[in-house]
Chains A and B, each alone.
Chain A
Amino acid sequence: MSIPVKSLKAQHHQFANPAFQLEVLQHAGTEEGDFPLFGAKLQEHELYPLQPTGTTILQVNVGKMCNQTCRHCHVDAGPDRKEIMTRDTMQLCLNALAKSPQLTIVDLTGGAPEMNPDFRWFVEQLSAMGRQVIVRCNLTIILANPKYHDLPEFFKAHRVQVVSSLPYFSASRTDAQRGDGVFEKSIKALQMLNKVGYGQEGSGLELDLVYNPSGAFLPASQKSLEAEFKRRLLSGYDIVFNNLFCITNLPISRYLDYLVESGNYSSYMEKLVNAFNPVAAANVMCRNTISVGWDGGLYDCDFNQMLELKVQPGTPQHIRDFNLTQLDRRQIVLNQHCYGCTAGAGSSCGGSTT
């Protein structure tokens, strides 16, 4: 199946509308009836209302612009998306961090975060503040334009933890999800990162890969898949990396569109619901992460951000009003897509949660 080059938004597609996505999610079920509400499921395990356990990660989505239009993208990112965080909003993030020393990790995502014109400035400021910076790099951006070729050196200079998607160690499965030629470019970019020391033992430069299934199925055990990825990438391409994070695809945006189009929606939701794991539910990432949108809005996670579900009303809604004490008392906003983070071994931006 070929990948459309336009975002759902540019296509004026109904799945570009968060309200429509929520409507579809609310009415998922089988012949036996609708699936139980996620909140009710948590209640069965005495986890409702779900609240933070102590926020340590600020995840900042610096914009939806991307050089790729991946088939499963929950952001509906792409070259045609113009939503980009301004330097002023970045400054508000820095102000929030300055008064919240508990936030030791800043996780930068997008789109391709590197395409934000103030990306490097932002990383420099964060690095100067002594925060651990994670960049969710799609790899191909490093080769997309000569101005990005020195990104490995830039990351190294600021001891950035690089987390990159590579859905498989073969071209066919990778390109089916991320676009033609993405595998080959990703391999070249990984070799460039390795060359400056990323993923190499003793370098202290962490390079992690993200696996998410290229289809309507759940991810394998992280430990077993990591061993296979390490073996295949080393023997085939002389590539080394630190950790593999297995992430379950959440049924929103382009992936929801794929599920519905391919006739897999109900069976996928059923898989997620049946695989509900209370241990994974207790460890969901929204309990230690706050997500900031490109316009400064505050969310429980990047998925809620894309569904335009802001943090609980009555708590700060924008980064300019950031108050971690108040935010740590909030109730996390839930919906049916949350089943994606609690299935099987659990899923988060850092991989399995159990």
Chain B
Amino acid sequence: MENTYYNPADLKKFGNISELQPEMGRKFFDYYGEVFKEGALTEREKALIALAVSHAVQCPYCIDAYTSDCLEKGADENQMMEAVHVAAAIKGGAALVHGVQMMNKIKDLTM
């Protein structure tokens, strides 16, 4: 076992997850490839969404991969940082909107 949970070199080994379950691995990667193809959204738009989600799920592998991917797909730094802010706004908003639940409970419990 490594001394750290995350090793940048492991990103390249992502495909190895199929070794222990080839059929599910294959289905996952086929699906993954299909998702990122140009469709109603461009590849660049999908890369920016992936970058935002990478920050929301706080996955260092994903941030590494989708920072490169966004640059390669022609996104610029402003677009990328705005995408991160979208993730931050949703995460912050998700915490704050529960404040309503808290307020409801306060109302239930207090005179």
Residues of chain A touching chain B, judged by Cβ–Cβ distance below 8 Å, are 168, 170, 172-173, 211, 213, 215, 217-221, 224-225, 228
Contact = CB atoms under 8 A, between A and B. Distances in A.
A168 B72 contact: no
Interface string B43-62: 11000000000000000000
A172 B76 CA distance: 9
B73 A224 contact: yes
A224 B42 contact: yes
A211 B76 CA distance: 13
Given A213-B71, A217-B71, A224-B38, A168 B76 contact: yes
B16 interface: no
B93 interface: no
A220 B78 contact: no
A222 to B, nearest CB: 10
Interface residues on B, range: 10 to 19
Given A170-B78, A172-B77, A224 B43 contact: yes
Contact of A228 (B38, B74, B77): B74
Which of B73, B74, B76 counts the most A-chain CB atoms under 10 A from its CB?
B74
A217 B68 CA distance: 7
B72 A220 contact: yes
A218 B70 CA distance: 11
10 contacts: A170-B78, A172-B76, A173-B77, A211-B74, A213-B72, A217-B68, A220-B74, A221-B73, A228-B44, A228-B74
Given A224-B42, A224-B44, A217 B72 contact: yes
User: Which 7 pairs between the two chains have the least Cβ-Cβ distance?
Assistant: A220-B74, A225-B74, A220-B73, A217-B71, A217-B72, A218-B72, A170-B76
Contacts of A220: 43-44, 72-74
Contacts of A228: 44, 74
A173 B74 CA distance: 11
A224 B37 CA distance: 12
A300 B77 CA distance: 37
Contacts of A224: 38, 42-44, 73-74
A170 B44 CA distance: 17
A219 B72 contact: yes
Which of A173, A213, A220, A221 counts the most B-chain CB atoms under 10 A from its CB?
A220
A201 B59 CA distance: 47
A168 B38 CA distance: 22
A137 to B, nearest CB: 23
Nearest to B44: A224
Nearest to A232: B76
B16 to A, nearest CB: 14
A95 to B, nearest CB: 43
Contact of B76 (A173, A218, A219): A173
Interface in B67-96: 68, 71-74, 76-78
A225 B75 CA distance: 9
Nearest to B69: A217
A172 B80 CA distance: 14
A215 B76 contact: no
A191 B77 CA distance: 25
A219 B68 CA distance: 11
A46 B103 CA distance: 72
Given A213-B72, A217-B68, A220-B44, 8 more contacts: A215-B71, A219-B72, A220-B74, A224-B38, A224-B43, A224-B73, A225-B74, A228-B74
Contacts of A219: 72
Nearest to A221: B43
A224 B38 CA distance: 9
A220 B78 CA distance: 18
Nearest to B76: A170
A173 B76 CA distance: 8
A31 to B, nearest CB: 8
A280 B60 CA distance: 33
Contacts of B71: 213, 215, 217
